[in-house]
Structure 1
């Protein structure tokens, strides 16, 4: 690697790490040329530079797991789940062979309308069994208490209880989902993945990588992409009353395409990913007459404290037609910088084009002096 090439790479890395709007290779204010060169050379030792080739693609594909589709209940234990009744829930109660104790179905009325509601004091009242505590109990526990009361007036009562209105416990799904709103906790366990599916899934502008999960005074970030893409079932949660799941917008999931392309700017990643070929295509492609097809770089910031690496730099030699296949398989990550360099001959031609007006001006001055 030539020295000037090293300086170029390291300058781009510093742009990536610092976020400064600096032209690669430019001089740092307040630092002399020799010191700047030494600093850049030293920083280069902390930069991991790789060629985008078949082995790199195979390595990245190996790191990406391809798990089997997961159940929405993966990661949560629902084996002993039982719904606990609360104030506002509505029940239907029937006693076999005792139609007088069962409210008959009525036309244009629902079971919920005719049912028994858990009152504000947490009790329900049934024939021969007034003020039975219900709130906080499971249906099975309420069934046992009701049978004990009715046994005083009915021999071996066979009681049937169903919850027909789940009104006491709610979860909230907000943000970038198709149908944000309030979703009830029911007798069927409701997981975080269930709730997102019930809300119609993520919207077009959703950040599919993370969601925020709030329970009481505690908020945590759920790595949604790790659940789906890597099979990390620890990211799932069994929802409870008052839980809030919020899906953020995808505003920060962008890649920056700079340098000698027809339309420099940002390209947004979607939930299906973005490869290098797509990013270049969305930017109008390379400037055919000036861009260096072998000078396509991807700069990716690294966690220096954990890895000791400032950034990873990947280079694509696009003059080889086979490299287009590699570009389609190289997946970009949020905040990657794609930079296309200008070919050496083009840089020379641009310098000449900048100098020519000055030469013409000097000729005019010489003509006037003569």
Structure 2
């Protein structure tokens, strides 16, 4: 085989491998100093991907808003006006002073709950002299007034006391990542979201406290226990109602992916305190100082815009002090942090893949030369 033939084969191989192997994001045309938004030059993605350089001046606009301590006057008013309404299954304790014959005593063998008046399915209780009394949907004050009025026909100025011995009719439910999930009774003491979480033993280790849901009358509302418990935003605390379902999800969706030229590419979970770009890079051992293009640290995020595929944020850490900017950029679930390779690294990969082919061609050429020399 002649040298020209070998050169021709090599040219064909190199042309076949001119697209350097491995994932890569170009950096030269992405960073700008005088524009807030850049789009890729690839015409097919031109209208679908936006590039946002992360600079000291611009990172502030991408910083997530931190909840502030806020009062909740609506909750305060609701608690002040709160009054329990009796329901089916509740047990009432009714006392008529100076008339022990009308009061069922509770002794050492019978608790107040066992000795009381159980609210039947038709919403009534039975009481001596006056018969059935409708109690469902009424407060203890309204029930006391009604019984006293009806007993006054038989007893002069009856002194009536009504309290609830057992709260059985109304419940709220707390599910998910709490220590003791399950139902919690609605009682004469107002029950708030924070109270319910504390009664459930607090949050479990795998709880996603930023995305708690409250389902009421078939409608779902998103709440943040992080804002409530960590930042003091009381607007996230609500008075719970019968039938409410509070769900604390697992933090399975709180994950980001760190790929490319880093020491240990892997998936990371965002903890309760959140995760910055710098923290993510630190968790994987930093960038590969030899192979990485320090100007090409990208965060790829699904875009909320209907006509765009992704938003890409680019950080240039050729100056290591730029990592301070990364501490101000918080990652979101399913972000992809990608560190691109510098050109020499991608060329080395190409040559590594081509080396077996080139060695084989050389061996063929050497064998041909030896054959011709032997023939001569």
The TM-score with structure 1 as length reference comes to: 0.77
**Equivalent in the alignment of 1:141:** 142
Give a deviation string over 1:166-198, Cα, whole Å, max 9, x none: 001122222222211111111223344443333
Q: Does 1:49 align with 2:52?
A: yes
| Alignment map for 1:247-262 (pairs within 5 Å) | 247-262=248-263
The structure with the largest alpha-carbon Rg is 2
Displacement of 1:47 in angstroms is: 1.0
- Contact 1:7 1:37 (8 Å CA) reproduced: no
Secondary structure, in 3 states, of the residue corresponding to 1:207?
Answer: coil
Corresponding pairs, count: 335
Displacement of 1:100 in angstroms is: 4.8
**Equivalent in the alignment of 1:205:** 206
Displacement of 1:147 in angstroms is: 1.1
**Equivalent in the alignment of 2:3:** none
Give a deviation string over 1:8-33, Cα, whole Å, max 9, x none: 89xxxxxxxxxxxxxxx9xxxxxxxx
- Contact 2:69 2:232 (8 Å CA) reproduced: no
What stretches of structure 1 move > 6 A for 4+ residues in a row? Answer: 6-9
Secondary structure, in 3 states, of the residue corresponding to 2:47?
Answer: helix
| Alignment map for 1:329-340 (pairs within 5 Å) | 329-340=328-339
Q: Which runs of 5+ in 2 are unaligned?
A: 1-24, 32-39, 370-376
Secondary structure, in 3 states, of the residue corresponding to 1:288?
Answer: coil
**Equivalent in the alignment of 1:94:** 95
**Equivalent in the alignment of 1:156:** 157
Change (3 A) 1:38 1:325: closer
Question: Aligned partners of 1:148, 1:255: CA distance in 2, in Å?
Answer: 67
**Equivalent in the alignment of 2:133:** 132
Q: Which runs of 5+ in 1 are unaligned?
A: 10-24, 26-35
Secondary structure, in 3 states, of the residue corresponding to 1:38?
Answer: coil
- Contact 1:210 1:221 (8 Å CA) reproduced: no
- Contact 2:51 2:314 (8 Å CA) reproduced: no
**Equivalent in the alignment of 1:17:** none
Give a deviation string over 1:69-112, Cα, whole Å, max 9, x none: 65697498344332111121112222334455444442364322
- Contact 1:57 1:326 (8 Å CA) reproduced: yes
Give a deviation string over 1:193-246, Cα, whole Å, max 9, x none: 443333233333333333444445x2424243696469483x665433333333
Displacement of 1:317 in angstroms is: 2.7
- Contact 2:75 2:238 (8 Å CA) reproduced: no
Change (3 A) 1:60 1:102: farther
RMSD: 3.3
